[in-house]
Chains A and B, each alone.
Chain A
Amino acid sequence: MVHKLLPPSSVHLLGTDEMGRDVLARLLYGARTSLALAVLVVGSSVVVGIAVGLAAGYTGGWADETAMRTTDVFLAFPPLLLAILLVTVLGGGFASTVLALTVVWWPVYAVLVRGQVVSLRSRPFVEAARATGVPPLGIMRRHLLPNALGPLLVQATVDLGVVILAAAGLSFIGLGPQPPTADWGMMIASGRQYVLGGRWWVAGVPSLAIMLTALAFAVLGDGLRDASNRGR
């Protein structure tokens, strides 16, 4: 292990870690893990949220009431605790983390979509579609969903960054993807003990990567929000 904990140099641009692995190489592979995880979590949460939100908002009545009380339960459940419990139940690793975070995240989208649908439901163009005999599924798909997508897209973009933060937290306490997979949260956790000795790059580099990624999605989300507001 001659190459371990080397500071950044022309050979290892971002230094090496405690096993002598190149931090830049781990960082790039870690990006794969983090981005794939974020896209999968947000993607499946959006799908579940759209399904629940559309059905609840359009149907109304007791179905709406049941769906909304269910989302209330998931929203009231302390999110970090729910995620840790689920990952423990599911046995850890990448797939468990995706599933656990999806369970934590979908209610946000369900509430968002339902709110949009309720405000659109009685608008003249929806009534017209209903009067001309468009079936409920067609109304949801062709008339309600496209009009509800704007705020959903903004929320989903910002959430990509938030999910990366949350997943890093989980893998920081050892519940995410398991070694030897490269993962930003895990890199920080294992590099943490070297920070106080002045070898900051092992934990510092992935910390910066997480921050910059979350920042990028937040800025993109803000831009999308401004763009969609300007259109109105």
Chain B
Amino acid sequence: MIRADHLLRRAATSLIVVFGVLTLTFVLTRVLPSDPAQLIAGQRARPEQVAAIRSQLGLNRPLPEQFARYLGSLARGDLGRSFVTKRSVAEDLGIFLPATLELVLCGFALALVVGIPAGILAGVNERGAFDRVTGVAAILGAAAPVFALALLAQHVFFNQLHWLPLNGRLSAEVSLAHPVTFVTGFLLVDTALTGNWVAWRDALGHLILPALVVAVYPLAIVLRMMRNSMVDVLHQPHITVARAKGLSERAILLHHALPNAILPVLTIAGLMFAYAITGTLLVELLFRWPGVGKYVADAIVAKDFPPILAVTLVSTVIFVGVTFLMDLLRVTLDPRVTR
């Protein structure tokens, strides 16, 4: 049973963590060796122009005051405007976040759908042929640099086989001939909703390679953890008791081993998912995928503070949300956790 005080404690620590990350990011962006006012005004601007921009952005105020103002606007749901493009950061995120989520969700779905059953199978047949083969594959997958995988995938599937497009989210011809109506920002969903199947096929083709590359690392980790966790659980006394009771192997696996073994795997997968929101940056760069990672990398280069803060906030909230959910799941499934 979930107790209210446990929930409250978790909620409070989550808030503290989000506040801490925001403070850290704010301080870090403010000590960047550059002056955004000068960058916006341009190289040949007169000092008084730069000063005007600085006071307009509030950059001449003391740091705590700037931070308080930032938190104030955040409380009103305002993520601010980009210093460089003057566009609303919230609107930008509405475009870039779905692109990243579409990529990361597909990659992780693949990783879980393949990794969990394969891990279970390997764990059940400990030291069998399948266990050995997947063990080697997983350790290779976890060691492969993601950008090398991306280059290899492009070389094989675009350069050699001509099966899949090189990069981007949609072909230029398709987006001209069959323009996509923006509904959710998820191309596969939007094109399906509007019955635009030509664009749907094109979008899927563009998604396959980057999603595969995104999937490799979590797949390797999930597979290995699921396998190890399964092996651990299967050696525990309660499994022997279940066997002694004469339960079928199937019932033992599904009702006694799996619920215990899968929890740590889901927790790690959740954390990796949260990290991947900005962690797919390299994949996004190599596949010219217009996502959050590329958005924030450009912002860091341009010393454009509001997008950096907003992306950090979104990513942290997802991280904290995932840990919170995983904790709830753990408490619901495992009564020993509640103190």
Contact = CB atoms under 8 A, between A and B. Distances in A.
Contacts, number: 124
Chain B interface SS verdict (over half): helix
Contact of B151 (A77, A203, A210): A203
B17 A76 contact: yes
Contacts of B20: 69-70, 72-73, 76
B151 A192 contact: yes
A79 B154 contact: no
A73 B154 contact: no
Interface residues of B, number: 49
B316 A78 contact: yes
A196 B155 contact: yes
Among A78, A80, A218, the most chain B Cβ lie within 10 Å of the Cβ of: A78
Interface stretch (A22-30, A40-48, A82-90, A117-125): A82-90
B199 to A, nearest CB: 26
Interface string A175-197: 00000000000001000100110
A72 B320 CA distance: 10
B140 interface: yes
B241 interface: no
A85 B28 contact: yes
Among B24, B154, B158, the most chain A Cβ lie within 10 Å of the Cβ of: B24
Interface stretch (A55-63, A132-140, A146-154, A164-172): A164-172
Interface string B235-274: 0000000000000000000000000000000000000001
Given A77-B24, A84-B300, A173-B282, A165 B275 contact: no
A77 B315 CA distance: 8
Interface in B1-53: 13, 16-18, 20-21, 24-25, 28-29, 31-33
B17 A78 contact: no
Interface in B115-143: 139-140, 142-143
Contacts of A76: 17-18, 20-21, 316, 319-320, 323
Contacts of A195: 151, 154-155, 159
Given A69-B13, A80-B278, A169-B146, A200 B155 contact: yes
A188 B142 CA distance: 19
A76 B143 CA distance: 23
B285 interface: yes
Nearest to A203: B151
Chain A interface SS verdict (over half): helix
Interface string A80-103: 110011101101000000000000
A192 B145 CA distance: 13
A73 B281 contact: no
B148 A211 contact: yes
A148 B281 CA distance: 36
B147 interface: yes
B297 interface: yes
8 contacts: A72-B20, A77-B316, A78-B275, A80-B281, A81-B311, A211-B140, A211-B145, A219-B139
3 pairs of A and B residues whose beta carbons are closest in the complex: A207-B148, A73-B20, A214-B143
Interface of B: 13, 16-18, 20-21, 24-25, 28-29, 31-33, 139-140, 142-148, 151-152, 154-155, 158-159, 274-275, 277-279, 281-282, 285, 293, 296-297, 300-301, 308, 311-312, 315-316, 319-320, 323
